[in-house]
Each structure stands twice: as C-alpha cells, then as structure tokens.
Structure 1
Amino acid sequence: MDSLNIPGTGRTPTVAFDFATGHLRMSGESYPDDVATFFGPVFTALRAYLAESVLIPIQFDMELLYFNSSSAKVLMNIFQMLESVARVGRPVSVIWCYEDSDESMRELGEDFSEDLHHVAFSLRNVPVGSIG
C-alpha cells in the first residue's frame, strides 16, 4: 500500500503515514476549516491499511502543538480504529509528544490514553520547539 503524505499548513497537520513500515506520524497544529474534507482521505487510507491482514507493528507518533474540539473527535476516532486492531493482536503503540511547558497537551494525552486498553500509549516530554 502506498504511503500517505499530506503537507501541513498553518491550520492543518502534517500527515506522514508510511504504511510499508507501520510508522504513522501526525505533527503541527490541527484546526482545519472543514474537518471532514481534510481528514476524509486520512480515514480512507487508514481504514484500508488496517483492513489488510498484515501484522506489521504500528507506531503512531502524535506531535501536535494544538488541536480544536473537532480535531479531538477525529483523533479519538483514529485511536478507536487502532484499538480495534490491537484488540485482535496487532501490536500498536502511540507516542504522544508534548512540549516541556505544555501541561494541557500532556493532560489531553493522558485523557486519550485512559480509553485505550490494548494500544501501548506513552507520553513523551520533548524540549520546546522540537514539535511541528
């Protein structure tokens, strides 16, 4: 399956999904004008990838500086998709990166992690300026 690469803008995150290696990454900020239009291709590609019977471990790096409530719903949907495949045996890890001084992003990561029981979810504190 081909990779999915969407360059980030001031309002949308960079999406770098390397399906061949199982390394998925989203970085930057997420508050698109039209969430459905931006994330539609992301969901389509991710659903197709997760439907394959390949058991390559998945590592999802979340490196967001900011996201709005509409994007939070999208992220929860993505995490639920990952939880579904992890529940049936596919190794999935999420690495939630947040900057040193950003307690709200750390807390949001903690909140997301509470809903995931089969995904290995870890929080990573990174230096300011290294996300994005």
Structure 2
Amino acid sequence: MSDLDVPETQSTPSISSHWGRGELCMKGNSYPENSFEFFGQVFAWIEAYLAGDNGPLTLQLLLIYMNTSSVKAMMDILDLLEEAHGQGRKVEVNWLYDPRNERVMEMAEEFREDYTFPFHIVPTPDEDD
C-alpha cells in the first residue's frame, strides 16, 4: 500500500501517512461534499495497515472544524482502531488543538469518551511566546 499525501483544501484536511512508522496525520477543516468518498482512502489505508503489519498505529489529528458527515466518518475510523485495540493491537490517537479554541478540545473530549485505546488531547504550543 502506498502512503497517502492529500493536500489540504478549503473544505478538506491534508492527509499524510508513513507506513514504515505506522503514522497517519490529518490536519485542517473537514466539510467535503461527500465525506465517505473523501475518507474512503483513509479507511483503505488503515485497514491495509492493520491487516498487513503488526506494528503500532498512531493517528495524529489537528482538525479544526468537522461537519456532521465528517464526524460520522471519524467515528468509523476510530471504531476501526478500537476493534484493533480490542484484538491486542497497539493503537493511539494524538489530537492536537490550539488552546485558544476550546470548542476543538471539547469535540476531542467527546470522541475520547467512546474509546478505550490511548487517546491524548494535546494543546499546541502558543506561537506568540
């Protein structure tokens, strides 16, 4: 499976992956016309990685805004990780957020409530310091 390198647009996050390190990163806003079509490549990458490698998988998120269908797609992605975690696979999520944007932190906390794998919510450094 090749790595993902999807550039950010006004309505879609950038998506990048590194198979060798077991890393997948999404950054930006997410309100595509068709979330399931857009995130299909993410589902495929995660499923292939989990099926073909025994290494850990880290999902790094720097998402600012998500529409309802993106939230549903993200829940499905996190459900894949939860299933793998339940089978003994090491998976984790690192959700980074700007500490000035409490709404993103609250959204991440709502997601975290539903999962048992390590799910870290991390403020990004203040760039004004």
Q: Above 0.5 in TM-score?
A: yes
TM-score w.r.t. the length of structure 1 is 0.89
Q: CA deviation at 1:89?
A: 1.2
Q: Which runs of 5+ in 1 are unaligned?
A: none
TM-score using structure 2 length: 0.91
Give the aligned partner of residue 94 of structure 2: 95
Deviations 1:5-60 (A, max 9, x none): 111111000011212210110001100012122112221222222222x2211111
- C-alpha distance in 2 between matches for 1:41 and 1:58: 16
Q: Is the 8 A contact 1:98 1:106 kept in 2?
A: yes
In structure 2, the partner of 1:57 is 56
> Could you tell me the percent identity over the aligned residues?
37
Equivalent-residue separation in structure 2 for 1:29 and 1:51 (angstroms): 29
Q: What's 1:42 paired with?
A: 42
Displacement over 2 Å in runs of 4+: none
Does the aligned pair in 1 maintain the 2:36–2:73 contact within 8 Å? no
Partners of 1:72 and 1:65 in 2: CA distance: 12
**Equivalents in 2 of 1:128, 1:69: separation in Å?**
29
Q: Is 1:32 aligned with 2:27?
A: no
Match for residue 121 of structure 1? Answer: 119
Q: Secondary structure in 1 aligned to 2:20? A: coil
On the 8 A contact 2:97/2:122 being kept in 1, the answer is: yes
